[in-house]
Amino acid sequence: MSARLTRRQFVRIAGCCAVGLGALDALAVEPSWLEVTEHDLPVPGLPHSLQGFRIAHLSDVHLRAIGRVHESIFAAVRAMEPNLIVLTGDCIEDENHLELLQELCAQLAAKGRDVIATLGNWEHWGQISMRKLHDTYARAGVTLLVNKSTALANGIVLLATDDACSGYADLASTLSDVPTGAARLFLTHAPGLFDELPAAMPSFDLGLAGHTHGGQVRALGAAVWVPPGSGRFRAGMYTTPKGKVYVSRGIGTSILPVRFTCRPELPIFRLVAG
């Protein structure tokens, strides 16, 4: 005859199962379980030609191999057909992954689609040659835009800084000659910069950043920890004095290869008349 479990034994076994399932989710399930989020972005005075214009935002890819999460990104891009893709830094951590980066970007590029990248802290911390990085992006049809602003042929204006967290953002250069256009996007890596922008700078329709990973590990819906440079930002849409800001949870992982209640994210924005 088998012995009956005591209440204490049952609770202990249940607790161990919960921990085991949580670890399985954090290590094997969530890091590859992409969430595509869709957002309408009202833009005052948006010309009819840009109505429905779609922007995909990738951040914090931390590319080490092409895996399931990246295949999900490629499938989403094929299905959603964004007109513009922006990458806001921390795509790779060292030069050993430059070929993988080119492969990733080649999958994102398409005729008539602009793909724009800027830098994160890991491109600097990994001591990646900026020349090699620029050439890698160029071979895949991607423009590396750093501490500059530019206007695309369709009227979208992009302002892109280097990473503020590692001390390379140069707002003076970024804002030195901002062109006019139908809609303005501000790209940076660490979102804390959005609360430090000078009052005299022009407003934007949308700011995009990553860096926080949404916390990467969350308990009761709150980030357990976010890196320096995050400021008050964690994930999602925020309001700042210069415009709306969206902070992506990012794609990859850093430090620990886990995500818990914080799936990788591919945000897609659709411009609408405001």
Token code pair at residue 254: 């850093």
What pLDDT shows up at residue 152?
98
Are 255 and 226 a contacting pair, CB within 8 Å?
no
CB within 8 A of 103, min separation 6: which ones? 66
Q: Which of 230, 233, 231, 171 is nearest to 202 (CA)?
A: 171
- Quote the pTM value: 0.91
Token code pair at residue 55: 């922007």
Q: What does the alpha-carbon distance between residue 263 and residue 257 come to, in Å, rounded to a whole number?
A: 12
What pLDDT shows up at residue 18?
38
What pLDDT shows up at residue 260?
96
What pLDDT shows up at residue 185?
98
Q: Which of 199, 115, 110, 93 is nearest to 160 (CA)?
A: 115
Instruction: Place domain 33-273 in its CATH homologous superfamily.
Output: Metallo-dependent phosphatases (3.60.21.10)
Token code pair at residue 70: 């990246």
Pairing of strands 84-88, 114-118: parallel
Kindly state the DSSP code that residue 28 receives in the 8-state scheme.
Answer: I
Q: Which residues pair with 183 in a beta bridge?
A: 156
Q: Which residues of 16-30 are buried (b: 16+ CB within 10 A; e: fewer)?
A: eeeeeeeeebbeeeb
What pLDDT shows up at residue 2?
42
What pLDDT shows up at residue 7?
56
Handedness of CA 149, 151, 243, 163 (dihedral sign): negative
Helix (H, G, I), strand (E, B) or coil at 72: helix
pLDDT in tens, the chain (274 residues): 344 545 553 344 333 333 343 444 455 799 999 999 999 999 999 999 999 999 999 999 999 999 999 999 999 999 999 999 999 999 999 999 999 999 999 999 999 999 999 999 999 999 999 999 999 999 999 999 999 999 999 999 999 999 999 999 999 999 999 999 999 999 999 999 999 999 999 999 999 999 999 999 999 989 999 999 999 999 999 999 999 999 999 999 999 999 999 999 999 999 999 9
Q: What does the alpha-carbon distance between residue 108 and residue 116 come to, in Å, rounded to a whole number?
A: 11
Burial of 236 (0-12, 13-18, 19+ CB in 10 A): middle
Give how far the C-alpha of residue 26 lies from the chain's centroid of Cα atoms, to the nearest Å. 20
The string of DSSP letters for 138-165 reads HHTT-EE--SEEEE-TTSEEEEE---TT
Are 266 and 36 a contacting pair, CB within 8 Å?
yes
What pLDDT shows up at residue 26?
54
Domain boundaries, the chain: 33-273
Q: How many residues does the chain have?
A: 274
